[in-house]
A and B are shown apart, each in its own frame.
Chain A
């Protein structure tokens, strides 16, 4: 029933309402991104083209190259939290034995699908790297809907010779999806998607370079929203469009001296994701204390430009290039570089419940940052499930962290 509620009329009405409220968005690029995302969601529900579910680490260039509609249940979960659907959906998941100690993005995604909120997939793809629950979670989704499931097996050690192994699988998935969905595997369309991905990457690198400058122009809370593109939009035309708009706005605001805070007291680096329900975290940091989150680890461009003539191989290198793969030293070095490049005095890691890939090596990271005299705060919580959020404790942790930074500066 709920899937049927997403009629063209309903979707168009929502889009018109959003289109009329452009002033509610702090950045034109955010407004543009929301409109484009709504278009994509509409396409997924209206099913005019095949819908392929994917996890957020799957190289979406493959999907845009096939001209299917990508749909990321993890990203949709974050959106559903904002729409107030989490409680009902988490209960639905719980009724189906979805354990509470797994990542709540996947717990909620399962619940949303079971409750009838998600568009039906025609196929499901997933990578094995970083997120340990994603393959099980998405394989179950494919099974529930009786659709084909393809797993991209990514070796943990990410050695150079593994690129061929990953590239072969990507090629197999590309052609298999085309066959399963009755599409013609068009290499030119794939190359076009790769070209768009390269252009978006170039723009994001420019955006990141601008964010390295002092003082900050965009607040971390605002910048976090653009992670939607990072996790779902590689190969799409709108990603390029939104990044171009954002870059233009950053430059204009810098020229006009419209800073993120009237007085930037501290610069912080944010690791992993943030809670998607309302919290005081960014109010405490950015509004009350002038501590601006100047960069998010998730916005790091970890791959080289893709080779149009070797699409599968270069996408394999992209997948294997993620800082979270291989030994912990790789992620630590990447973070230390970010601290230096963005002039960050402190690092906050949001330890999302059930996320082993991000939280398991925190001790090593803490030690490395200590050696560099960089303050570190590990903030326990859950991006999705607000039951695990303790407002008073979070305020004390954040304020104490800021006091620590202030004292370090005095000494």
Chain B
């Protein structure tokens, strides 16, 4: 049996996926912390344990994500752009566009037959439109990160957030609170701000339906709803959106064989 592993070392979390004959056997997600190969090693071992697979049974390991270059035991390094496209196509073969919003960057990928990348766009050197933006805002508003999306969708109106700069938006949010704007409206405004940024990238790329969303931010219902509203289409959300890159990496490792 052809068993392979994919490792996605992101800025916030490290993901490992084990795949056998095109099927996901197990996965593991750990905080990246200071990063490096140690966390990746632990994530891989944990995923192997969960799948009841021994390390020597692995026929290949592909590393992806920002930390891909620091994994000495990987057989190959592939960018997360190619891996997310491959992972999304595996789960949704009809996919035409992938929106990936991770901890420190966001990407829009046009996907062709076989999960081939046709084109892509990434955010600039800036936290706007990323998970980090939401994290900073959650802290400023003293809201649980996991709750902010649910609270945002309850609001009827969105408070206007004019700045996409994380630092300026934080002070804007504090001013809105001082003005007495309801918290939910501010949260809705923040989610719109993230969506606006990502939709602009999608438009630059000439996005097409169906759209799959990946990355940790896909778990935030506020961002998902804002994107759906702005794009005018429903998004396909995998059960585990965070592991799409690792899954794609494991599948690419299998293709190598």
Contacts and interface: CB of A to CB of B under 8 A. Distances in A.
Contacts of A400: 79, 81-82, 117, 120
Of the four ranges (under 10, 10 to 19, 20 to 34, 35 or more), the interface on chain B belongs to 10 to 19
Contacts of A395: 69
B34 interface: no
Contact of A396 (B79, B114, B116, B118): B79
B204 A407 contact: no
Interface in B97-128: 105, 113-114, 116-120, 122, 124-125
Contacts, number: 45
Contacts of A399: 79
Contacts of A84: none
A396 B117 contact: no
B78 A403 contact: yes
A340 interface: no
Contacts of B119: 370, 375-376, 404
Contacts of A408: 116
B73 interface: no
A407 B117 contact: yes
B105 A403 contact: no
A400 B122 CA distance: 11
B125 A403 contact: no
Contact of A363 (B66, B124, B204): B204
B122 A407 contact: no
Interface in B62-105: 66, 69, 78-82, 105
A3 B11 CA distance: 47
A390 interface: yes
Interface of B: 66, 69, 78-82, 105, 113-114, 116-120, 122, 124-125, 204
Contacts of A393: 105, 122, 124-125
Given A404-B119, A404-B120, A407-B116, A396 B125 contact: no
Nearest to A380: B124
Most chain A CB within 10 A, of B122, B125, B204, is at B125
Contacts of B118: 404
Of the four ranges (under 10, 10 to 19, 20 to 34, 35 or more), the interface on chain A belongs to 20 to 34
Contact of A403 (B81, B114, B122): B81
A168 interface: no
A395 B66 CA distance: 9
A363 to B, nearest CB: 7
A407 B105 CA distance: 24
A388 interface: yes
A411 B120 contact: no
Q: Which 10 A-B pairs have the closest CB atoms?
A: A390-B125, A400-B81, A400-B79, A403-B82, A399-B79, A407-B116, A404-B117, A396-B79, A380-B124, A392-B66
User: B interface, by DSSP: helix, strand, loop or mixed?
Assistant: mixed
A397 interface: yes
29 contacts: A363-B204, A375-B119, A380-B125, A388-B125, A389-B125, A390-B124, A392-B66, A393-B122, A393-B124, A393-B125, A395-B69, A396-B66, A396-B81, A396-B122, A397-B122, A399-B79, A400-B79, A400-B81, A400-B117, A400-B120, A403-B78, A403-B81, A403-B82, A403-B117, A404-B117, A404-B120, A407-B82, A408-B116, A411-B114
A376 B110 CA distance: 13
Contacts of A363: 204
Contacts of B79: 396, 399-400, 403
Most chain B CB within 10 A, of A389, A393, A400, A411, is at A400
Interface in A365-411: 370, 375-376, 380, 388-390, 392-393, 395-397, 399-400, 403-404, 407-408, 411
Contacts of B113: 411
A396 to B, nearest CB: 5
A219 B122 CA distance: 27
A375 B120 CA distance: 11
Given A390-B124, A390-B125, A404-B117, 5 more contacts: A363-B204, A388-B125, A393-B124, A396-B66, A411-B116
Contacts of B69: 395
A388 B124 CA distance: 9
Contacts of B125: 380, 388-390, 393
B203 to A, nearest CB: 10
B73 to A, nearest CB: 19
A28 B124 CA distance: 39
A100 B51 CA distance: 54
A396 B80 contact: yes
Most chain B CB within 10 A, of A370, A376, A393, is at A393
Nearest to B114: A411
Contacts of B116: 407-408, 411
Contacts of B124: 380, 390, 393
Contacts of A411: 113-114, 116
Interface string A84-104: 000000000000000000000
Nearest to A405: B117
A403 B114 CA distance: 14
Nearest to A403: B82
B248 to A, nearest CB: 12
A391 to B, nearest CB: 10
